[in-house]
Structure 1
Amino acid sequence: MRFIRMVFVVALALILIGIALANRQSVTLSLFPADAGAFIGGRWSVELPLFLVIFLAVAFGMLAGLIWEYLREAQYRREARSHRAQAAKLEGEVGQLRRQHANPRDEVLAIVDAPKGKPAGATPVAGTSLPVTR
């Protein structure tokens, strides 16, 4: 897997270097169309190499997509958080019920609730299924 990742990274680097070398000419990048910046005042354009404009456009598109997906999936994260809280609450209730019913308060109930065929309070000896002798 590591080898495949390295091959992919090297191939991507070679492609990006090739694009950069093939697109070195300078282009003017303007914020406003056709002299609209003159009405506002100031210089609203910049000269950049074409490969830099391409790379910045791809990076901006990826960032916009990341933000878009983060906002789109917010409802799913909210639901998951709610379900986690509900599951934790139910696990706490189950634990509380187990603690309440694990130790009966009355010895008569312990005898009644004991499995048939075994005396109440009999525990098997380690390594056998026989109850402890008294």
Structure 2
Amino acid sequence: MRYLRMLFVAVLAISLLTVALANRQIVDVSLFPGQFGQYLGGTWSARMPLFLVILMSLLIGMVLGLIWEWLRESHLRQESNRRAFELRQLEREVGGLRTTHAAPRDEVLAILDAPRVAPAPAAPGQTTLPAPR
């Protein structure tokens, strides 16, 4: 699979290089048709190689498609986040039910099955020994 990916990248690079070498002539690219740009104040055109125009058009199209799909799928992301939140709530609820309903009925077994909690460290000057009788 890795070689197939490398082959694809190589073919893509060769084809882009071929397009760039075949379209080196300089062209005028205008943002507005005719003399409409003069009414907006300024020249809305640029001179650049044709291959650059082609590659920029492809890049702009890909970015616009990415933004379009991201906006189109926003409701799916919201639904996924809502369901993930509900799943976390249900898992917490099931965990609580397991501790209350599946707990052993015998008090001795409940003490033995309870998780052990590490004792809190003693403050300076205090002892953890039982009080004398």
TM-score by shorter chain over 0.5:
yes
Q: Which runs of 5+ in 1 are unaligned?
A: 111-134
CA–CA distance in 2 between the matches of 1:43 and 1:86? 56
Q: Could you tell me which residue of structure 2 aligns to residue 54 of structure 1?
A: 54
Q: Give the distance between the partners of 1:40 and 1:52, measured in 2 at CA.
A: 26
SS at 1:8 equivalent = helix
Cα deviation digits, residues 62-113 of structure 1 (max 9, x gap): 0000000000000000000000000110111000000012324566xx9xxx
| Higher RCO (C-alpha under 8 Å, 6+ residues apart) | 2
Q: What is the TM-score normalised by the length of structure 1? A: 0.76
1:7 is aligned to 7
Q: Distance in 2 between matches of 1:67 and 1:25?
A: 32
Gaps of 5+ in 2: 111-133
Provide the residue aligned with 2:28 in structure 1.
Answer: 28
C-alpha distance in 2 between matches for 1:103 and 1:75: 42
CA distance in 2, matches of 1:43, 1:80: 48
Aligned residues: 108
What CA deviation, in whole Å up to 9, does each residue of 1:31-89 have, x standing for no partner? 11101112222121000100000000000000000000000000000000000000110
Q: d(CA) in 2 for partners of 1:40 and 1:73?
A: 37
**Match of 1:27, SS?**
strand
Between the two proteins, what is the percent identity of the paired residues?
Answer: 53
Match of 1:98 in 2: 98
Q: Is 2:34 the partner of 1:70?
A: no
Q: Which amino acid aligns with 2:12?
A: L
Instruction: Kindly provide the amino acid, as one letter, of the partner of residue 34 in structure 1.
Output: G
Q: CA RMSD in A?
A: 1.5
Counterpart in the other structure of 1:43: 43
The one-letter code sitting in structure 2 at the alignment partner of 1:93 is: E
